[in-house]
Structure 1
Amino acid sequence: MKLTHLTLRNYRNYAAVDIDFSPQINVLIGENAQGKTNLLEAVYVLALARSHRTSNDKDLIRFGAEFAKVTGTISRETGPATLELVIAKAGKRARINRIEQAKLSQYLGKFNVVLFAPEDLAIVKGSPANRRRFIDMEFGQMSPKYLYNLSQYRTMLRQRNAYLKQLKFHQAKDRVFLDVLSDQLAAFGAEIVVARTHLLAQMAGFAAVIHQDITKARETLTFEYQTQVPEAARDSVEAAYQALQALFASHKDREIDQGTTLVGPHRDDVAFIVNDKNVATFGSQGQQRTTALAVKLAEIDLMKAQTGEYPVLLLDDVLSELDDTRQTHLLKAIQNKVQTFLTTTSLDGIAREIIDAPAVFHVDAGVLTRDTVAPDTVE
């Protein structure tokens, strides 16, 4: 999978961009606050119809403009496709090959990206919510079924929480209706638990190999899926459904008392274990960085296994955060197989293994220009 052409209109600090990209490495060079990350964000938004930097879509619209538009030409094994996302103050519209999509869920998954930024260290040492967001965003790209079940689960969770509050404040009395909501929540939750179990196990296998390579077999990385569904019930949708039903039933009185759903996949977590210790709690900063890198590289392999194609990799000022060993492993892992977009303030210090003749773009105050000759600093 490649992004061959990108068009921006009124996106962040870009008034207009029309640019072709290399199928290999694309380096975006510029001083801070010139728009490097904005362009990387636009590629991410094209894929996922949302930003990783803000939850307010209005932030994506150039100051004084009524809308922003991101259009990309995608090359896939099934053939080329044109994706278009229009972001207006009233909402978003998505088109595939000029055909408007009734739902954003129909648009998602056509273009897959993996973003690696310095803040991704939060995947390892941040809150459970950070890790849930990570796995849901990535698994949702790979599986329309996962995305559907997650969307339905969140809708049912909002309805159930609203009804629990009504019961708490005696604005409702019918507990049978709560059982109906619980049953529906358990049905979608079971699908999510089983999917997470299988996908996390597959990702863990990829990550373990990468982690051993980086650490020269001195350390072993494993994943621990932490969910309230018993381990014996995680491989079967029916078993997970029954387990969740039992959990909701046993917590019913407490949930009414607190006015919220206390159990379910929205409380799940993933622990990263290095040499039998939780790296978030007991790992050094170096171990945490190595784990984050292994997880991100494993994500690339998992997407290839699930979709049949490698995703596009977005590296936002990551190389400056990695030592020579980790930088070399990252560059070797993507060499000649993953189209990559990389932001940096300078090519100085970037490892020579960055692949032959990258396409280099200079970013200056929202203006993008491409070098016609490869820089001398990269051989």
Structure 2
Amino acid sequence: MYIKQLQLSHYRNYENVTVAFENKVNVILGENAQGKTNLIESIFVLALAKSHRTPRDKELITWEQDYARIEGIVERRNGSLKLDVIISDKGKKVKLNHLEQRKLSEYIGSANVVMFAPEDLNIVKGAPQIRRRFLDMEIGQINPVYLHYLGKYQKILQQRNHLLKELQKQKQNRVMLDVLTEQLVEAGSKVIERRYEFLQLLQSWAETIHFDISRGKESLKLEYKPSIDVSEKTELSKIEQVFFEAFEKIVDKEIMRGSTLIGPHRDDIGFTVNEKDVQVYGSQGQQRTTALSVKLAEIELIKDKIGEYPILLLDDVLSELDDFRQSHLLHAIQGKVQTFVTTTSIDGIDHQTLKEAATFIVTQGDIEKVK
């Protein structure tokens, strides 16, 4: 798949631009603070209806404007799709081929993207919530029903936490707590099941890619670390059983703290290289190779699942990688993935992929193709 055309209206520092892209590497060139990352972000928002940079949609709207709009034509193997995201003070609308979609889960997956930016190196060394967010975004693209269960889980979690705080203040009948716990287990177990499945698939791709990048010297393992001990119990009924039993043991502690202490909202991922925790003991080079391996594995996993490659967004990431990792990344995508690369300069990046790329200059919210 690839983006054929993108139109931005009142989006960040883009007042009104329309640009056609090519189904190959597209280099977005410009000085800092001109709008390169905003452009990459808009493609991400077009696909996932949310930003990777901010949870506040209003920040995407140009100052003193009422709305922002992103329109795109995406070519897929089954034909063209018209995608449309409109953000205003009243909320967010998404349209697919001009028809408004009532649920985001019915829209997400129409275009698939993989983002790799400097902050994505924190997938390895950052806080657990970064890895949970990574899981949620990537699984949601290839399994939209996951977003339904995740949204349901988060809503029930909020209600349960509120009730736990109320039970702190005054002793009440716990019947409502039991009801919410049962609902939370049902939705949460389905989230856990799908996370397990996704990480097993990602592991199979990432291990091979990491072995290749490290020239056969390192073996990468990904480990799902749920907050409940489900071990190898990956069947849904067994996950639910363990989940229930865990809640029974800690309910008094939860009331005392006024918070739900276990569940997918506390899950994590572990990374080991040659059986050592790369998050703790890995060098910066090993951490970066791990992050790169995971991102390249995402591309192959999505291709395997949906039958075509996703769109790759590389936001100022080449400057963060050494020559060898740069070369491996560019070689891996050459000729098969539509890619957007933002950079202030391609000097010093001597690779055939960039020499054959389409180049666009961004200046103060205006974008122009280099002929």
Please state which band the TM-score falls in when normalised by the shorter chain.
over 0.9
Q: Which runs of 5+ in 2 are unaligned?
A: none
Paired with 1:124 and 1:62, the residues of 2 have a C-alpha distance of 34
Structure-2 residue corresponding to 1:249: 248
Question: Which residue identity does 1:204 align to in structure 2?
Answer: Q
- Pairwise CA distance, 1:310: 1.1
Paired with 1:250 and 1:307, the residues of 2 have a C-alpha distance of 42
Structure-1 residue corresponding to 2:92: 92
- Pairwise CA distance, 1:353: 3.0
Question: Which residue identity does 1:216 align to in structure 2?
Answer: R
Q: Which moved more, 1:102-111 or 1:349-358?
A: 349-358
| CA deviation map 1:117-142 (0-9, x unaligned) | 01111100001111111111111111
- Pairwise CA distance, 1:355: 5.3
Give the TM-score normalised by the residue count of structure 1: 0.96
Q: Which moved more, 1:331-340 or 1:104-113?
A: 104-113
Paired with 1:105 and 1:162, the residues of 2 have a C-alpha distance of 27
Structure-2 residue corresponding to 1:126: 126
| CA deviation map 1:221-260 (0-9, x unaligned) | 0011111333445320111011111111111110011111
Question: Which residue identity does 1:70 align to in structure 2?
Answer: I
Structure-2 residue corresponding to 1:184: 183
Structure-1 residue corresponding to 2:330: 331
Question: Which residue identity does 2:71 align to in structure 1?
Answer: T
**SS of residue in 2 equivalent to 1:273:** strand
Structure-1 residue corresponding to 2:222: 223
- Pairwise CA distance, 1:150: 0.7
Paired with 2:108 and 2:59, the residues of 1 have a C-alpha distance of 21
Structure-2 residue corresponding to 1:316: 315
Question: Which residue identity does 2:10 align to in structure 1?
Answer: N
Give the TM-score normalised by the residue count of structure 2: 0.98
Structure-2 residue corresponding to 1:285: 284
- Pairwise CA distance, 1:351: 2.9
Identity, % of aligned pairs?
50
| CA deviation map 1:173-231 (0-9, x unaligned) | 12121111111111111111111111101101100111010101111100111113334
Structure-2 residue corresponding to 1:110: 110
Task: Output the aligned Cα RMSD.
Answer: 1.2
Question: Which residue identity does 1:320 align to in structure 2?
Answer: S
Matches within 5 A, 1:1-379: 1-170=1-170, 173-232=172-231, 234-354=233-353, 357-372=356-371
- Pairwise CA distance, 1:58: 1.3
**SS of residue in 2 equivalent to 1:93:** strand
**SS of residue in 2 equivalent to 1:251:** helix
- Pairwise CA distance, 1:160: 0.7
- Pairwise CA distance, 1:143: 0.4
Paired with 1:69 and 1:318, the residues of 2 have a C-alpha distance of 27
CA contact (8 A) 1:327 1:351 kept: no
Q: Which runs of 5+ in 1 are unaligned?
A: 373-379
Question: Which residue identity does 2:207 align to in structure 1?
Answer: A
CA contact (8 A) 1:328 1:353 kept: no
